[in-house]
């Protein structure tokens, strides 16, 4: 049974434990790592033994600027214990990867997330789909529990906030208010924002140029809203930085002629990680809920940004997506 909790309730769960495993989702982004780094450091500061990990546990180079990522350990090295497991930014149990042995041994599992598609799991669920980032929820939890938010914690949490809000393009007043509190706590933002949002290798520009020639526009797709598609085959992915590949979707979502963007990434041969993005008209009208499409394929996310992983050849995967997008 899963008990829903608010920030104060989540802080009460944290306060019950002296040993805590902090996990975020596979193929972590800055919100997954930033929120988990912030929580791990706050717990260590009050003497809690913390195991900070994800499956499998190698931090992508582009995210190593987030304070605390140097203390991430491989999942295989995390001991099973009877304390608490916290999952951050994980919309479903399978997004945590192969963590069953840890969940089974733990006395409590606290799930902290902001994906509306989250079906609810763990013993306690702190879920707020209105929150701009999971890092926002960690800040709420730390403030409710009276934890000290130092410069490093604030910087880690800011990493999640600035990326999940598309540099504050969405998230509105509440996201700016969270930023204000993190800045007041000493968050260092300039180098971090460059590292997370702008930095890439020179070599990537050539790959990017070649990939952009492959983007397809279907102006009449999705009931006349238009869609752009790009598939990145395994041989290209194998030679590129994961973070650079992930950044491709931002080029697609800017195309004026399309309200829906689909990026297919073949990280493993025959297995496509799909990123879906959607944009409404004025005031968000006519937004296609891509989280419903992702959920139909076993994934999830937010109405305007969602993802799933589908096995099969590219033609089949594309046909299934096309049918679901309508």
Question: Contact residues for ligand AMP (CB under 6 A)?
Answer: 91-92, 95, 115, 275, 299-302, 305-309
Mark the segment that binds Mn ion (CB under 5 A) among 56-64, 84-92, 99-107, 181-189. 84-92
Q: From the list ligand AMP, Mn ion, none, pick the one residue 275 interacts with, judged by a Cβ distance below 5 to 8 Å according to partner type.
A: ligand AMP
Q: What would the two tokens of residue 193 be?
A: 């924002």
Residue 81 to residues 51, 65, 88, 195: CA-CA distances in angstroms? Answer: 10, 30, 19, 35
Q: From the list Mn ion, ligand AMP, none, pick the one residue 299 interacts with, judged by a Cβ distance below 5 to 8 Å according to partner type.
A: ligand AMP
Q: From the list ligand AMP, Mn ion, none, pick the one residue 155 interacts with, judged by a Cβ distance below 5 to 8 Å according to partner type.
A: none
Nearest to Mn ion of 159, 222 (CB atom):
159
Give the separation between CA 88 and CA 91, rounded to whole angstroms.
9
* Residue nearest Mn ion by beta-carbon distance: 31
Nearest to ligand AMP of 69, 133 (CB atom):
133
Q: How many CB atoms lie within 10 A of CB 180?
A: 10
Based on the shown chain and the rule CB under 5 A, indicate whether residue 164 belongs to the binding site for Mn ion. Answer: yes
Q: How many CB atoms lie within 10 A of CB 286?
A: 15
Give the separation between CA 281 and CA 129, rounded to whole angstroms.
22
Nearest to Mn ion of 164, 243 (CB atom):
164
Q: From the list Mn ion, ligand AMP, none, pick the one residue 244 interacts with, judged by a Cβ distance below 5 to 8 Å according to partner type.
A: none
Residue 158 to residues 31, 89, 173, 181: CA-CA distances in angstroms? Answer: 9, 15, 15, 10
Nearest to ligand AMP of 151, 167 (CB atom):
167
Q: Are strands 271-278 and 260-268 parallel, antiparallel or unpaired?
A: antiparallel
DSSP class of 151: H
Based on the shown chain and the rule CB under 5 A, indicate whether residue 243 belongs to the binding site for Mn ion. Answer: no
Give the DSSP H/E element, type plus range, for residue 243.
helix 242-253
DSSP letter string, 4-24:
E--HHHHHHHHHT-SEEEEEE
Helix/strand/coil percentages in the chain, nearest 5:
45, 20, 35
Q: What would the two tokens of residue 213 be?
A: 């020639």
Minimum CB distance to Mn ion, residue 307 (Å):
9
Q: From the list ligand AMP, Mn ion, none, pick the one residue 306 interacts with, judged by a Cβ distance below 5 to 8 Å according to partner type.
A: ligand AMP
Q: From the list ligand AMP, Mn ion, none, pick the one residue 307 interacts with, judged by a Cβ distance below 5 to 8 Å according to partner type.
A: ligand AMP
Binding string to Mn ion for residues 12 to 41, with x set by CB under 5 A, is what?
Answer: -----------------x-xx---------
Q: From the list ligand AMP, Mn ion, none, pick the one residue 125 interacts with, judged by a Cβ distance below 5 to 8 Å according to partner type.
A: none
Q: What would the two tokens of residue 188 be?
A: 């260092």
Nearest to Mn ion of 21, 136 (CB atom):
136
Minimum CB distance to ligand AMP, residue 107 (Å):
26
Give the separation between CA 113 and CA 129, rounded to whole angstroms.
8
Residues engaged in binding Mn ion (CB under 5 A): 29, 31-32, 89, 134, 164
């Amino acid at each position: 049974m899963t008990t829903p909790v608010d920030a104060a309730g989540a802080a009460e769960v944290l306060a019950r434990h002296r040993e805590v495993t902090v996990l975020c989702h596979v193929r972590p982004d800055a919100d997954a790592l930033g929120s988990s780094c912030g929580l791990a450091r706050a717990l260590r500061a009050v003497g809690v033994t913390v195991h900070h990990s994800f499956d499998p546990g190698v931090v992508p180079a582009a995210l190593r600027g987030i304070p605390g990522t140097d203390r991430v350990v491989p999942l295989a090295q995390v001991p099973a214990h009877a304390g608490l497991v916290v999952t951050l930014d994980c919309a479903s149990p399978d997004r945590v990867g192969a963590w069953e042995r840890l969940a089974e041994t733990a006395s409590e599992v606290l799930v902290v997330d902001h994906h509306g598609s989250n079906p609810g799991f763990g013993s306690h669920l702190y879920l707020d789909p209105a929150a701009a980032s999971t890092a926002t929820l960690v800040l709420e939890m730390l403030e409710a529990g009276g934890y000290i938010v130092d410069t490093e914690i604030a910087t880690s949490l800011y990493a999640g906030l600035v990326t999940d809000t598309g540099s504050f393009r969405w998230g509105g007043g509440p996201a700016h208010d969270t930023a204000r509190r993190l800045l007041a706590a000493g968050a260092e933002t300039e180098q971090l924002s460059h590292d997370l949002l702008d930095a890439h290798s020179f070599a990537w520009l050539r790959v990017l140029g070649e990939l952009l020639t492959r983007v397809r526009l279907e102006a009449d797709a999705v009931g006349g809203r238009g869609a752009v598609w790009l598939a990145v085959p395994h041989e290209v992915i194998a030679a590129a930085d994961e973070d650079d590949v992930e950044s491709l979707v931002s080029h697609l979502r800017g195309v004026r002629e399309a309200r829906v963007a689909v990026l297919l990434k073949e990280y493993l041969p025959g297995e496509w990680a799909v990123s879906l993005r959607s944009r409404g008209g004025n005031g968000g009208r006519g937004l296609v809920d891509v989280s419903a499409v992702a959920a139909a394929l076993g994934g999830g996310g937010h109405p305007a940004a969602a993802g799933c992983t589908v096995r099969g050849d590219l033609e089949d995967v594309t046909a299934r997506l096309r049918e679901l997008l309508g």
